Structure 1
Amino acid sequence: MEPGWCALRRTFVIDLNELIIRQDGVLTTSQAQAAGLSRSAVSRRRASGEWTAVAPSVYLVSGHLRSARAQARIAVLSVGEDAVLGGVAACWWHRLHLKEPAKHHVFTGRHGRHARSSATAVVRHRDLADEDVTVVDDLRITTLALSVLDAAAGLGIGILDSALLSEDVTLADLRSAHGRYPNRRGAGPVSRYLDQLEDGTRSEAERRTAELFRDAGIDGWTANVPVCGYLLDFVFLRSRLAVEIDGFAFHRDADTFQRDRTKRNALVADGWTVLNFTWADLTERPEHVVEAVRSALLRAAS
């Protein structure tokens, strides 16, 4: 064998191995061929058990676990190499959402039935604009803006707030992506979330809190009371309980954060119990707010 061919073969092996490592042990027939492997060579690796078929033309290489990342790749590549991971799974891939996804929403522009690697792939037809598709770690996924918009339909407004807090996306980015797919699943509630984020008024948050207290039969409170030199949102004077509404995290800069911590420390030092809630708590977990306030009032009374 000629020295030049040996060097070329070594380069090919290194490139193929690097591809396999980068893709968590997952690759397709077409990717292997693009890296220089013939179809017969792919067949030999499959026959020997070196590569295991996990979907039509999608393989998991021996020695690599079928990890959460590998499964996400399998779900997407089983639909097609032009498919795109979206929703909660894409937020997880963007490292914004920590919980590993049980399902993988996969978007494709092609109509009809699509092969699936397993029940984790949920295939949806959507013609995505180029500006809403990106590649992260060699996997096609929706951009952060569209990912969190789709995820918010199930996870609620908190995921939008977290994305804005990361400063990797803006409200304008969210509005633009939202406008490109006005009829997508969950668009109605998400539109209202965007309005709430854009407004962000404390008066609305305080109004909702007051309604929540009244509906739950919680009384003995007063709104906007000065204590220890600070104006508090809600005060239960007899119980020395303060309830503060933090609003949206992305509105809170470092100075605001520090002022709130200083205020909390001063109140605690003066014998107050302080409960902090967010807009997401009020709108999505109101029972949690009610239970926390009731528990604090009971402790104060005992």
Structure 2
Amino acid sequence: MRPPFGVQTLAQLTATGIDRSTVQRRGRYTRLLPAIYATEQVTTLARCFAVTLWQPRAVLSHRTAAWLWRLTDEPDVVEATVPRAVSVGAQAPSWLRLYRRNLDRDARSSAWGMPVVTDARALLDCVAVLEGEEADRLVDAALDRTISRRAVEQRCARDAGTHGAPAARRQLREAATLADSEPERLLGRALARRGYRLPANTVRVVGYWPDLVDVRSRTLIEVDGLGPHSEPPTFRRDRRRQNALIAERWYVLRYAGADVMADVEGIADEIVSVLRRRRANRRG
């Protein structure tokens, strides 16, 4: 029977009658880790499985787990978590990064027949090691589309006081989920950073699904791309929609996607100024 991912231990190979010196000689077998060999082409999955053979208590985590849950692209480095008490001994190769941490039982799962952290745990692990826009994009793409926000919030609450917890809480506050375009996503995040988390494409108003909505001030924000909105049928439909919204006393702000990309912070400041004024007027 073919070994999983073409990876076997030295003991498994010699048990089949292969001489130990033959295994250790360069050529047919590729040494991945101490006493762990690949008998076929070395893939990322093969390396992942090799780690679990080398360290039986290891759990694949961080970007590797995110990849196994189809949240990110295939990583260059395999990442795994081992209990603090585990002694690794031999130095890990350049393609492997080990983290020492005692995982909760409910933070563990399995994928491809290998131990792996849950998708929510993987997302928070990635936030702790990624920076800036890379982390933002990952969270925005995964949250609510692939991973339950509630699951991430519960996981985040359990992590209170640990490394990476502040960054995770910030991501939950600022996440711009369900955006239909990159300008819309960036604008949603910029507004959330200012304390205005507006739902995107989920609130139906006068028969339409606006890009961003502030119900308290009865204000809609639309981010228009150059292509679709310049077509005659779409242009006319947008005009009819805007007239219907104004007739129902909704205030409409429209921005070109290119302008948002060029100055998202300035546009966010402008929108916040309008929202504050309209909220104050409605209270009055």
TM-score by length of 2: 0.59
The answer to whether structure 1 residue 68 and structure 2 residue 44 are counterparts is yes
Match of 2:239 in 1: none
* Distance of aligned partners of 1:199 and 1:206 in 2 relative to their CA distance in 1, 3 Å threshold: closer
Match of 1:178 in 2: 156
* Distance of aligned partners of 1:66 and 1:57 in 2 relative to their CA distance in 1, 3 Å threshold: same
Aligned mate of 1:160, from 127, 139, 142: 139
Quote the Cα distance in structure 2 between the aligned partners of 1:102 and 1:181.
27
Match of 1:58 in 2: 36
Quote the Cα distance in structure 2 between the aligned partners of 1:148 and 1:134.
14
Q: 1:78-98 CA deviation, whole Å, 9 max, x = no partner? A: 4x0210111112111111212
Greater helix proportion: 1
Quote the Cα distance in structure 2 between the aligned partners of 1:82 and 1:244.
50
Quote the Cα distance in structure 2 between the aligned partners of 1:75 and 1:81.
8
CA contact (8 A) 2:176 2:188 kept: no
Match of 2:8 in 1: 27
Q: 1:113-161 CA deviation, whole Å, 9 max, x = no partner? A: 5234411222111111121111111221111010011112313233223
The answer to whether structure 1 residue 275 and structure 2 residue 248 are counterparts is no
Root-mean-square deviation over aligned CA pairs: 4.5
Quote the Cα distance in structure 2 between the aligned partners of 1:198 and 1:130.
30
CA contact (8 A) 1:86 1:107 kept: yes
Any residues of structure 2 matched to 1:70-85 within 5 Å, and which? 70-78=46-54, 80-85=55-60
Post-superposition offset of 1:173: 0.8
CA contact (8 A) 2:66 2:72 kept: yes
Quote the Cα distance in structure 2 between the aligned partners of 1:161 and 1:273.
21
* Distance of aligned partners of 1:60 and 1:116 in 2 relative to their CA distance in 1, 3 Å threshold: farther
**Aligned partner letter, 2:23:** R
The answer to whether structure 1 residue 106 and structure 2 residue 87 are counterparts is no
Quote the Cα distance in structure 2 between the aligned partners of 1:89 and 1:230.
36
Post-superposition offset of 1:232: 8.2
* Distance of aligned partners of 1:231 and 1:184 in 2 relative to their CA distance in 1, 3 Å threshold: closer
Quote the Cα distance in structure 2 between the aligned partners of 1:157 and 1:147.
14
Structure 1: stretches of 5+ with no match in the other structure: 1-13, 213-228, 234-242, 246-259, 283-287, 295-302
Quote the Cα distance in structure 1 between the aligned partners of 2:7 and 2:211.
55
* Distance of aligned partners of 1:244 and 1:58 in 2 relative to their CA distance in 1, 3 Å threshold: farther
**Aligned partner letter, 1:26:** V
Quote the Cα distance in structure 2 between the aligned partners of 1:82 and 1:103.
19
The answer to whether structure 1 residue 46 and structure 2 residue 23 are counterparts is yes
* Distance of aligned partners of 1:38 and 1:109 in 2 relative to their CA distance in 1, 3 Å threshold: same
Any residues of structure 2 matched to 1:94-173 within 5 Å, and which? 94-98=69-73, 100-111=74-85, 113-114=87-88, 115-153=90-128, 154=130, 155-167=134-146, 169-173=147-151
Match of 1:92 in 2: 67
Quote the Cα distance in structure 2 between the aligned partners of 1:184 and 1:42.
48
* Distance of aligned partners of 1:198 and 1:116 in 2 relative to their CA distance in 1, 3 Å threshold: same
Q: 1:13-48 CA deviation, whole Å, 9 max, x = no partner? A: x2xx1xx2xx32123357x39xxx739757376257
| Secondary structure of the structure 2 residue equivalent to 1:91 | helix
Structure 2: stretches of 5+ with no match in the other structure: 179-183, 195-207, 213-220, 237-253, 268-284
Quote the Cα distance in structure 1 between the aligned partners of 2:81 and 2:258.
39
Instruction: Figure out how many residues of one structure are paired with residues of the other and give that number.
Output: 215
**Aligned partner letter, 2:60:** L
TM-score by length of 1: 0.56
Q: Percent identity?
A: 18
